[in-house]
Each structure stands twice: as structure tokens, then as C-alpha cells.
Structure 1
Amino acid sequence: MLKLSILDQSPVSSGYTHSDALQQTIALAQAADRLGYTRFWASEHHNSMGLAGSSPEVLISSLAARTSRIRFGSGGVLLPHYSAYKVAENFRMLEALYPGRIDLGIGRAPGGTPHTAKALRGVSADLFEGLERFPAQVTDLLGFLTDSVEPGHVFEGIRATPLVAGVPQVWLLGSTGQSGVYASQAGAAFCFAHFINGAGGQQAVRSYRSSFRPSALNVVPQATVCIYVLCAETQAEAEGLAASLDLRILQMEKGEFTGVKSPEEAADYGYSDWDQTRVQDNRSRMIVGDPGHVKQQLLSLAESYQVDEVMIVAGGYHWETRLRTIELLADAFNMK
């Protein structure tokens, strides 16, 4: 049976606060734990009025303390902004506190504007230099996590603490084939962000598998795919609720990071011809419908990627819409 997991971005709906969004993420994680989902990842975005999750490490610790079974991870830590050593220590600490339940998802996107990236790294930091250093950072990070920093390396003899027996599962995240290349070279798992880029993901995963190098992390390749999902009792209800998700994706493309609008606000939005074309095209990045339709589409997606797990980003304006999506899918897949 297909395994299901969740990526939550802590979206801020119009009329709600960032604190509200984080409390909704906590409640969604508790429901996912109860319903039998495999893992729950928290995202990292900065200087965003529409997304509240800026520190996945802190949020993961809170979520794991409130649950008992499900794995928690970052979707993902934006490594170019940070010290590989500090990231290793953060996730070793999480592994020590919640052994066997921690994933470290790594991304290389800026997670905000170039100006925001400079604030994260320091005003003199060069964004492109950070991206160029990414492969070396991944190597350093894995060395710290597995106590395998090579002799002669500038960091030889330095160990990440606390010292723990386990290692977080390491995933590289991306919406292009390049991230799959990095994952295969590192021997890490790979998650393709279909919710960001609805084209080319299957080929990226195939290439990742074919060039995978076994490592201390994984002997065989492991991959998953992440997609927007909105599920309701009927197809018509789902389509009505999806207007909020359609508009949210469109506004993110246009740089309008103002939060999730209600279906009523979405209906009143002044869509241009270009907007309407983009809304239609963006449907390749999501699955919308009743439980039977969504289940079949998720199974087809998994088959096309040749994966046994799919991660969903539950969409919708109301928090109850996101909750209902994961409840209906748990029933459809007999997860309880």
C-alpha cells in the first residue's frame, strides 16, 4: 500500500495571524500522527507574510514532543545560509531527543528574496557563492552526522554533539534534476517538489536512481514526490474550495505573498487572461477531488515516479479543509 506523508508550510490565511498558523500546524501534526501518516515535514521561509514557518528545527522539537509515532523533518533546511556544523548539531540534538523519528531535509533555494538572504548570511554575503559552495557543504554536513570527516580535512577531529547512536534520515529536496544529482552523489534520499515544478520530475528521479552511490546513509536509493492535494466529500465541493489554492499559487508566482484568500475572495479576484492560463497550467502541480479520485491520482503519480511514498501539501483557506483532506485520505488508504 502506498505510504502518505505531509509537508506543511504553516500558511497564513487572510484574517488569521502567524501564531494562528503555527497552532494549526501543531493540530495538523497531531492529527497526522493519530491517522497513520509516515512523516510530517515543516518548511522554511523567511520574510513572508503568507507563510509562518521560518525555523523548522524549533518547530520540529515542539511537534515531536506533542506526538508519539510519526517522523518529523525539515522540508527543508536551506543549507547555503548556514554552517554545516551547526545544522549537524541541531539535528543530532533532535535525534537524541526523539530517536528514530527525525528527518533532515536539505534545500538550496534562498527561501526568500536576495535581500532577505543577505540578512540571513550577513550583509556582505554573496548569494551565488553560497550556491556554489552547496556540494561541499553537503559533504561536510554528512561527515559531521556520520563521524566520517576525512583525515586532512580542515575540520578533522571536530565532532558534532551530542554524540548519539542514530543518524537522522537525510533527504535532498529539489524541483530540478540538479538536486537529484547532488542526492545521488551524497548517497542521500531524494524528494522531488512536484508542487513547485509539475514537469520533469519523473526523469529527475530516474536519473537519481541510475547514478546513486551507496553511502553510510543509504545502501539503495530512496525517493519520494511532493504535490498539492485538496480532498473533499464531493468533486464539486473540492473544486469550490480549490479556488483558494489556485489563487495562492498564482499570487506566489506574481510575488504577491499576502496569504491564503478565502474562496469568496478568490472569486472576486480580477483575473487577467494570463492569470487564467497560469491557473489552468498550475493544476499539473495539484490533485483536487473526492476521495476516490484523489486516491487514484495519487496512485498514478506514485507509479509514474516509481515510488512507494507520496508527500502531500494539503491546501485550502480554512484549517478544517486541510484537516479534512488528510482525514479523507487516511480513510481512503485504510491507514488507521
Structure 2
Amino acid sequence: MNDTGLTSSPALSVLDLVPVRSGQSSAEALASSMALVRRADELGYTRYWFAEHHNMPAVAASTPPVMIAAAAARTERIRVGSGGVMLPNHAPLVVAEQFAALEALAPGRIDLGIGRAPGSDPVVTALLRSSGPTSDVDRFPEHVRNILALMEPDGAQLRLTDGKTYDVHATPAATAAPTLWLLGSSDYSARLAAELGLPYVFANHFSGAGIDQVLALYRDGYRPSEAHPEPQTFLTLNAVVAPTAEEAHERALPQLRAMARLRTGKPMGTAETVEEALATPLDGLGQQMVEDMRARWLIGTPDEARAEVARLAERHGADEVMIVPVAGTYASEPLDATPGRVQTLELLAA
């Protein structure tokens, strides 16, 4: 592998939650993610997406459009986007305006991934919507259609109550629109993506349950669109790759433990260092969850990891796999860098 681009199949991409570790500031966490997207660009990864989560101590990915703009300015060829914008938190016109502006800033490089989940707890969800109703979950299909229309060069046309029409554009003189993807881990978004002729992403990093049935529903029900004559999908995958299996499993432990705490309702904090994770055992249920997740994540040496990515893509018919680099850090490593995440991307691309 050299720095001119990946030659492996399937294509590889990245999903970044911008993790925050013990003793690290938001500024340092963001700096490490900006360094990571630059490296992914150099290595030839296809796209780099930022998640949307709110009020989580270990996650600094709360505003995808801001991070996309920063990443686009620091890279040359990689596509950048959201994985995803949680539409119930935002007015469709605002989403369309933000991503139309991003497309104008980085033409041909912007992806708008959209999801239905709130991305936080009920209290923060209420705060996000305190200025008035935004994108009602029950109107999700309507709002997706509206965003698609608003971002097109011709814009959208509203019919007013007096019978007159009103033209609305996300940006005054667009020449192209971002690519819109629907995200999900159930059949709802898969069915909608098939109906609208849109690409679809299965959130395998969050829950792999039902993946084959959901992808079959999407592909079997797909209605070709002008922009997307064929169904297109990829999978997400939590990954930690290191020169030795021992290091890979050590670096995976902080995120495994964090997910176990989340799913058992335990208090959440910043991400542990590897040393902190090794020093404090979990209870029986938490440890069982760690072992269950460990079996589903990609944790291992480069040859093992690359072979497993290829097997996963072939099994599910995916042309692309989006890596979620969840490698933790050792206490001695710099606060403004994430060597384990960089190493994961480099070794997978080798």
C-alpha cells in the first residue's frame, strides 16, 4: 500500500464519533480526529463520516456539518459526510441549507446521511426541540423528500393556502446536490430507501441483528431512481487492528467496557485509557456483554482483519465497509492524537 489510494476490495470508509478519553479536552479530541481524516485521505479511504450524538461525556461528535466543513478544508479527495444527521432534531430546511453550502464548498465530495433516532436521552432531545417543532418522526418520509427537493438546483415549490406557489432553494445557484443516504438498523429506513431509490447503510456497528433480512428487503424492494439506478449499500463495523493480537484486544477494551456500561444503565464518563480498563474489572453481566461484543467486532492482526472484512463484505453483498476505529489509547500517548485509531486505518489499508 502507498499513499495514492486503496487498491483492496471491498472499498473502505470511516465513521468517526470523535471519542474523548480521560484527561483530554474537546479541542484535543477534535484535533486528533482532524489528523485522522487527513490520514484517511492520504491512505485512499472512500469516505469519512461524522456521527451525531449529544451530551455524552466520551463523544464530541455533536455537530456533523461543522466537522464536515473542517474536514473538507483539511483534505483533498475523500468524501466527507454525516453518519448521520438525526433528522428529528432539525428543521429540514436548515439541514438542506447546511449541506447545500457544504456541497458548494467541496463540490462532489459531500454525503448527507440521515437517521431517525434522536441521538441522545429524552431531556437533551427536548432541549434540541425547545425552540419549536422540528422534524416530527412521524413525518420522516415527507421531510426526507423535502430535503431532496430543496437541495436540487431547481429547488422546491410550495403551494400556499391561497393557491399560489412559492419557490424555495437551499442555496441560490446550486449546480449539484450532496448524495443523500438513509441510515438504520431496522427495516423502516431500508424500506423507505428502497421506495425512494436512495442508498442505504446498515448500522452493523450498533446492532448486527437482522442484517440479512433488512438488506434483502432493501434490495428486493428497490425502485430505481435517476440518480441511483441500482441499489447501493454498505455496512459499518467496529474495528481495532494492531501488530499483535494482544495489543488489539487491549486497545479494544475501553470501548467494549463503555458499551457494556451504556447497555446496563451504568453512569458514563470519558473513555478510559487501556491501563484504566485493565485495572478495574466489570461485574458478571457487564463482562458477559464485553465478551459477546468482542466476538462481533473486528479485533486482531492486519492479515486476520483484512480477511475478515473481505468475508463480511462477500457474505452480505456489500461493495464497501465503513470502519468505526474504536482503538483506545495508552496513558503515555499524546492527548491530541489517537495512535491506535491511526494504526487501525493504516494496517487495514496496507
Normalization by structure 2: what TM-score? 0.89
Partner of 1:291: 302
Is the aligned partner of 1:24 residue 2:32?
A: yes
| Structure 2 residue identity aligned to 1:246 | L
1:245 CA displacement: 2.3
Decide which of 206, 217, 223 is 1:207's aligned counterpart. Answer: 217
Q: Deviations over 1:250-303 (max 9, x none)?
A: 122234331211222112334121112211222254110000111111111111
Is the aligned partner of 1:60 residue 2:68?
A: yes
Q: How many residues align?
A: 329
Shift >4 Å, 4+ stretches: 123-126, 150-156
Q: Deviations over 1:146-174 (max 9, x none)?
A: 34646748885212214221111111111
8 Å contact from structure 2 (residues 15, 50) kept in 1: yes
| Structure 2 residue identity aligned to 1:330 | A
Task: Find the aligned partners of 1:168 and 1:110 in 2 and give their Cα distance.
Answer: 22
Partner of 2:341: 322
Task: Find the aligned partners of 2:65 and 2:132 in 1 and give their Cα distance.
Answer: 26
Decide which of 144, 149, 171 is 2:150's aligned counterpart. Answer: 144
Partner of 1:121: 129
Q: Deviations over 1:120-165 (max 9, x none)?
A: 1117659xx8211211111111121234646748885212214221
SS at match of 2:167: coil
Q: Deviations over 1:187-207 (max 9, x none)?
A: 111111111002211221121
8 Å contact from structure 1 (residues 42, 75) kept in 2: yes
8 Å contact from structure 2 (residues 114, 182) kept in 1: yes
Decide which of 274, 297, 305 is 1:263's aligned counterpart. Answer: 274
SS at match of 1:172: strand
| Structure 2 residue identity aligned to 1:67 | T
1:90 CA displacement: 0.8
Q: Structure 2: state its 5+ residue gaps.
A: 1-8, 330-337
Decide which of 17, 40, 52 is 2:48's aligned counterpart. Answer: 40
Q: 1:326 to 1:271 in 2, by over 3 A?
A: same
Task: Find the aligned partners of 2:115 and 2:159 in 1 and give their Cα distance.
Answer: 28
Write out aligned runs for 1:1-336 (5 A): 1-122=9-130, 130-146=136-152, 147=154, 149=156, 152=159, 156-255=166-265, 256-318=267-329, 319-331=338-350
Instruction: Indicate the RMSD between aligned Cα atoms, in angstroms.
Output: 1.9
8 Å contact from structure 1 (residues 13, 259) kept in 2: yes
Task: Find the aligned partners of 1:135 and 1:15 in 2 and give their Cα distance.
Answer: 42
1:248 CA displacement: 2.0
1:236 CA displacement: 2.0
Normalization by structure 1: what TM-score? 0.93
Larger deviation: 233-242 or 144-153?
Answer: 144-153
SS at match of 2:170: coil
SS at match of 1:226: strand
Q: 1:166 to 1:158 in 2, by over 3 A?
A: same
Task: Find the aligned partners of 2:67 and 2:261 in 1 and give their Cα distance.
Answer: 26
